Structure 1
Amino acid sequence: MGANRDPASLEGYRPFPEERTAAYRDEGYWRDTTFHGLVDDRAATTPDATAVVGPDRELTYAELASNSRSLADALRARGVAPNERVLFQLPNCVEFLEAFFACSRLGAIPVMALPRHREAEVRHLLDLFDATAYVTAGDRYDMGFDFVGLVDDLTGEFAHLETHVAVTESGDGLPDGWLDFATLREEPTEGGVDGVDVAPTDPGVMLLSGGTTGMPKGIPRTHNDYLFQWEHMAAAAGVEDDWVAFPSVPIGHNASLNCIVGAAFWAGATVAVEPVLKPGALLELIERVGGTYSLPIPTQLIDLLEHPDVDEYDLSSLEVLVSGGQKVPPRVVRECVDRWDVGFCNIFGMAEGPLVCSRPDDDVEVQAETVGRPIADAAEVRVVDMDREAEVPDGTTGELSVRGPGYFTGYFRNEEENEENFDDDGWFYTEDVLARREDGNYQVFGRIKDTIIRGGENIYAPGVEDVVAEHPSVANVAVVAMPDDRLGERPCAFVELAEGVESLTLDELTEFLAERGMAVFKRPERLEVRSQLPRTGVGKLDKKLLEERIAEETDAESGPV
């Protein structure tokens, strides 16, 4: 492997058009810096400030800059070249951030695989991105799975995968050809990344789509457009340089990397990382490090609020909580605000770029009932009719469409999706149903595919879920479509019961919804009580799986034809 290999091809990447690039620079939206450039700036101005705190390691900004440079030098010396893709599969740990900024320095592009991805997803990602390097957890962190063994078994099938790095406790026990992360970082090198010119307009990270069907799609984000969002998310949430931000979902997920980690680094704050993301571990982390700012998804918030020992932890350091990924039940927002005296950023976001959120100082009604406003005035945001031909008036539901300096320009090597969801003017159609209120705040009604069509009437499932969740017997709810021969679809509610509640009937739920004034056609016509609802790999309720289950059950109940 040569140390000075030519930059890899980015065939299949759609760059920003030149005229938009020039406009974003002229307007000052793009700073023309890189991820590692930001860390170097912080290292120059506040070298002794704590950048990252882990369970057993802590780095200042100066140390993070130095360590990431040493690692970049070592990877470069072993042949990792600009534009090559490096597959990350790590827990939330200090090494994740060292490797992320190292890739930025050498112009390589980290691909954000998640800890719950397994052989099918890893094969797909290695193939889609032609990854030449893979960085994962060895025995230093207990991830409950042998990732080293998984990838070692696949190595022979992917000739382009040449560099294997594992985070281990001692460096012992790795298969032949594998490198220990800490040993690699300390290797003496010559030259390294000197002379590597990283363009801020090039992709700096490959995020992944988070759907529940099919394989993940690649979402290229440039240094410029992603740093734009780091800057404006920090401003929207009011992040201060003395805050301690802690990601509650894997850092490889946009919700953490962008809204928490990125915003914190932009502000010069501290990032605290915890590999175990269970409620008890997160509560301990907040108390131990004085956690200030985080983004738990709604199911995690519910788990934290209902944790039997929650009142035994000192959570007084919390300043702002962000939540999204799926619709946050309004009652959960209000309970968090009342219980912990926090500002709440109710957020609608996508790895593709859209970020809309309420602000910490908004009235609680705005925080609970809306997702606020776009994080930056420069964002071009429209709500259009389902034909994608015209904007709809305030108060009317439609599809969210976006364009601007903080959004991606197309899926990587997926022209079919790009043709379907982009128009000739660069507008991206999200397939999400929103409405803009007259006060400028947006409300989310769900995915277009999350719409239940009952006899020609559209039912937006998240709106029904909000009301069902207010029932005192309900801890968690997912409303999905069940097939019906006559009406096409009917709404079915899957619920987890609140602690101490033994039963809930459909009649009881229907009476409750009637008292709340819900239209008859929107009320669930079947109730399924489960001890636990299934989650996706990132912890969201897996509604696709529930739809499949109810379809199978109704099909079985109808009997043979």
Structure 2
Amino acid sequence: MVEGETIDTASLDGYVPFDSERQQAYIDAGYWRNITFHDVVDRHAEEIPDYTALVGPHRELTYAELAANSRRIAAYFVGELGLRPNERVVLQLPNCTEFLEAFVACSRVGVIPVMVLPRHRSAEANHVVDLTDARAYVVDYGRYSSGFDFVGLADDVRSSHESLEHLIAVTDGETSSVDGCDAFAEMRDERWVDKYGDEVSKTDVDPSKPGVMLLSGGTTGLPKAIPRTHNEYVFQWERMADAADVRDDWVAFPGVPIGHNASLNCIVGAALWAGATVAVEPELKPDALMAFIERVGGNYTLPMPTQILDILEHPDLDQYDLSSLEVLVSGGQKVPPRVVEEAVDRWNVGFCNIFGMAEGPLICTRPGDDVKVQANTVGRPIAPEADEIRIVETDRETEVPPGEAGELAVRGPGYFTGYFRNEKENTENFSDDGWFFTEDVLARRDDGNLEVYGRIKDTIIRGGENIYAPGIEDELVEHSKIANAALIGMPDDRLGERPAAFVELTDDATELPLKDVSSFLEERGIAVFKRPEYLEILESLPRTEVGKIEKQALKDRIVDAESK
């Protein structure tokens, strides 16, 4: 590495950069501040050095300590591991202080962290390392109670990929090293700065280049890699902090894994921008989250809708003091209106009902909105003067009028420019002038707030009629016997698909005939063709680690049943 070295996108094969004209326009308009992730931390380290930046199960760090530790780790990265700008490092860690120390360290030397989630296993891990040619892999080893051998997983992946040279283990503090791994704690030693600090300081990280790679969500298939630049991501940190009115004396904590865009962007990033405290807890079950809120005085968080419902219905809820809560953010799947209304009523909180994607779109209600707006819409873009949004017909050219549903298309300073090394997806979902077609169905109300109908792939087409599953699911959970519901398309030779419902019953319900559901929906004015023609009661709907219903598992269940 030489003095003045900059990141060269030409060496990042498969990355689609912003064109120079758009970059300059965003800078001139003040949307892009041309600062990196570590610049955000360093600003606070200078202005409020003793203010608490991170709180975890075992440690607390001030902003000055976070900045210092990340410099030491960065020095270890370049000096001992030989990592260079544009190279990738997999982070597969629970919510912990080490995650953010490593994240900021990567920023300092232009290394791109790749967000592999704790729930990912061999198929996803091998795919991501193969896709990104990652050179290092950071995992937990016994410091947090995961119940899984992540070192073994990473070691197996390493044996199959020549690019993957280094494993880094976060240990319990008593174990100084793990065979075949670098110990995370040893990277925090000041001697690395003494030895390699000049190499770190000479690295000129370009904020208009990728600073993180997120993974696409969903419940089927292998994830796509989503590069996000420092400029576009910091832009969203600032605007999300403004939208949610995050204050510097708040304690913000993610209720889902930090590797998710929802946590890293909306909670962690917004809090770091505001100079607030980020609190992290690896255990994300209701009891642990409630105890954590009470212990740290949590003000600002993002749980999934199912997590909020689990807390609201928890038998010991009254034993926990959750009065510190100020703002709840929730999304990832459609938030049932009654969940919003119950949460606002119970805790007197502002509710940011959010629609977001790792690819960039970030739309939400504001804490001061009327509760009916919070419950029934996802609000407005976080940067309405900068975010370009269109809702289009199936031709992806004609905009639909207000009130009608169509596909959401976006472009702007907070949106990505293409999947990494995935020309097929980029060709299918980007226009020549930079519009990204999200495959999500939304409608814009006359008041400017947006409503979500679901994914295009979540649309059931029965005899040529479109049925947007989330809207019917919202109606189903209003039934006194239904706690949760999922609607999928059941294959049909004549009509193409028929709507099929899977439901969880409330604790006091023992049965629910299909005819009763049909009568209920008829009373609520739901058209005949939208009503379920199949009903199955499950003890619990299949869910991902963060609470999303796995509809593919339900579709497989239907197919398996029909094949027998």
TM-score range, shorter chain: over 0.9
Question: CA offsets, 1:485-520, max 9 Å, x none?
Answer: 221111111111112322222122122111111111
Q: Determine the structure 1 residue equivalent to 2:261.
A: 254
Query: Contact 2:224/2:419 (CA < 8 Å) preserved in 1?
Result: yes
Q: Determine the structure 1 residue equivalent to 2:76.
A: 74
Q: Pick the aligned partner of 2:140 from 133, 137, 141.
A: 137
Q: Pick the aligned partner of 1:239 from 234, 246, 263.
A: 246
Q: Determine the structure 2 residue equivalent to 1:298.
A: 305
| 1:137-286 paired onto structure 2 within 5 Å | 137-170=140-173, 172=175, 174-186=177-189, 188-189=191-192, 190-192=195-197, 193-286=200-293
CA distance in 1, matches of 2:69, 2:57: 18
Query: Contact 1:86/1:109 (CA < 8 Å) preserved in 2?
Result: yes
1:356 matches 2:359: no
Query: Contact 1:13/1:410 (CA < 8 Å) preserved in 2?
Result: yes
| 1:122-521 paired onto structure 2 within 5 Å | 122-170=125-173, 172=175, 174-186=177-189, 188-189=191-192, 190-192=195-197, 193-377=200-384, 378-521=386-529
Secondary structure of 1:165's counterpart equals strand
CA distance in 2, matches of 1:246, 1:17: 35
Query: Contact 2:88/2:114 (CA < 8 Å) preserved in 1?
Result: yes
Deviation of 1:537 after TM superposition, in Å, equals 3.8
CA distance in 2, matches of 1:214, 1:541: 15
Quickly say closer, same or farther: Cα 1:6–1:105, change in 2 above 3 A: closer
Query: Contact 1:433/1:446 (CA < 8 Å) preserved in 2?
Result: yes
Q: Determine the structure 2 residue equivalent to 1:107.
A: 110
- Residue identity in the other structure for 2:369: D
- Residue identity in the other structure for 2:257: P
- Residue identity in the other structure for 1:72: A
Query: Contact 1:369/1:443 (CA < 8 Å) preserved in 2?
Result: yes
- Residue identity in the other structure for 1:191: Y
Query: Contact 1:74/1:187 (CA < 8 Å) preserved in 2?
Result: no
CA distance in 2, matches of 1:53, 1:172: 22
Secondary structure of 2:114's counterpart equals strand
Query: Contact 2:439/2:456 (CA < 8 Å) preserved in 1?
Result: yes
Q: Determine the structure 2 residue equivalent to 1:534.
A: 542
Deviation of 1:171 after TM superposition, in Å, equals 5.8
Secondary structure of 2:401's counterpart equals coil
Between stretches 330-339 and 509-518, larger displacement belongs to: 509-518
Deviation of 1:19 after TM superposition, in Å, equals 0.2
Between stretches 338-347 and 22-31, larger displacement belongs to: 338-347
Question: CA offsets, 1:406-453, max 9 Å, x none?
Answer: 000000000000000000000000000000001000000010010011
Q: Pick the aligned partner of 1:549 from 553, 557, 562.
A: 557
- Residue identity in the other structure for 1:315: L
- Residue identity in the other structure for 2:330: S
Aligned-residue Cα RMSD (Å) equals: 1.6
CA distance in 1, matches of 2:453, 2:390: 15
- Residue identity in the other structure for 2:295: R
Q: TM-score, normalised by structure 2?
A: 0.96
Question: CA offsets, 1:215-267, max 9 Å, x none?
Answer: 11000000000000000011111111111111000000001000000001111
Percent identity at matched positions? 67
CA distance in 1, matches of 2:457, 2:157: 35
Question: CA offsets, 1:287-329, max 9 Å, x none?
Answer: 1111111111111111111111111111111111011101011
Between stretches 173-182 and 131-140, larger displacement belongs to: 173-182
Query: Contact 1:7/1:84 (CA < 8 Å) preserved in 2?
Result: no
Secondary structure of 1:246's counterpart equals strand
Question: CA offsets, 1:352-392, max 9 Å, x none?
Answer: 00011111111111111110000002000000111102111
Secondary structure of 1:337's counterpart equals helix
Alignment size in residue pairs? 555
Q: Pick the aligned partner of 1:43 from 25, 29, 45.
A: 45
Between stretches 494-503 and 523-532, larger displacement belongs to: 494-503
Deviation of 1:175 after TM superposition, in Å, equals 4.4
- Residue identity in the other structure for 1:155: R
- Residue identity in the other structure for 1:424: D
1:117 matches 2:125: no
Q: TM-score, normalised by structure 1?
A: 0.97
Query: Contact 1:483/1:490 (CA < 8 Å) preserved in 2?
Result: yes
CA distance in 1, matches of 2:176, 2:202: 36
Question: CA offsets, 1:18-39, max 9 Å, x none?
Answer: 0000000000000000000000
CA distance in 1, matches of 2:5, 2:181: 21
CA distance in 1, matches of 2:156, 2:449: 51
- Residue identity in the other structure for 1:297: M
Secondary structure of 2:503's counterpart equals strand
